[in-house]
């Protein structure tokens, strides 16, 4: 049985009902879509020769590539995400860099996955879907860049 999932087996898929972003343990927004959660290591190719002079190609571990996370949600009155972005716009790098988590919840409201990010800031804030007379909500999209990401659950 997967840890933290009372009715799940290790082979059950994680189905997401919603996502939240936490900064300092406090939820600042919920999201309908998350993309870009990744972990990637650059491959360094080293050309060498073996003892007989035959050319060989070694693949070695290089630098890690920090992820770029994209979050989308129906816009609401909260200014938390924009103010976080504004800190970077104003050049307040110390205030703009934050540690936090992207948390995935199932249909019963249970936490099924948690991704912690470090030294993150919002590089792009976008509001779309604003059309007079349309009954669909406008959408906020943010792009978060970070130095490191780890899945802890």
Low-confidence ranges of the chain (pLDDT < 70): 1-12, 14-16
Cα–Cα distance measured from residue 25 to residue 79, given in angstroms and rounded to the nearest whole number: 18
- Provide the terminal-to-terminal Cα distance of the chain, rounded to the nearest Å: 14
What DSSP line would sit under 80-130, residue for residue? HHHHHHHHHHTT-HHHH-EEEEEEEE-TTS-EEEEEEEEEEEEEEEEEE--
Torsion over CA: 110, 115, 119, 122 (sign): negative
CB-count burial class (<10 Å; 0-12, 13-18, 19+) for 128: exposed
Q: What is the pLDDT of residue 10?
A: 63
Confidence (pTM): 0.79
Give, in words, the CATH class of 18-151. mainly beta
Q: What is the pLDDT of residue 133?
A: 84
Q: What is the pLDDT of residue 120?
A: 95
Q: What is the pLDDT of residue 1?
A: 41
- Percentage of the chain modeled with pLDDT above 70: 90
């Amino acid at each position: 049985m997967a840890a933290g999932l009372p009715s799940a087996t290790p082979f059950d898929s994680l189905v997401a009902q919603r996502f939240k972003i936490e900064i300092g343990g406090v939820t600042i927004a919920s999201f309908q879509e998350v993309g870009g959660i990744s972990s990637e290591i650059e491959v360094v190719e080293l050309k060498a020769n073996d003892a007989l002079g035959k050319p060989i190609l070694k693949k070695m571990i290089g630098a890690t590539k920090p992820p770029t996370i994209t979050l989308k949600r129906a816009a609401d009155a909260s200014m938390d995400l924009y103010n976080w972005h504004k800190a970077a716009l104003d050049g307040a790098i110390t205030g703009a860099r934050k540690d936090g988590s992207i948390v995935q919840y199932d249909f019963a409201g249970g936490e099924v996955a948690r991704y912690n990010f470090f030294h993150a800031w919002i590089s792009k804030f976008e509001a779309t879907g604003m059309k007079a007379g349309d009954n669909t909500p406008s959408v906020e999209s943010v792009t978060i860049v970070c130095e490191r990401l780890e899945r802890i659950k």
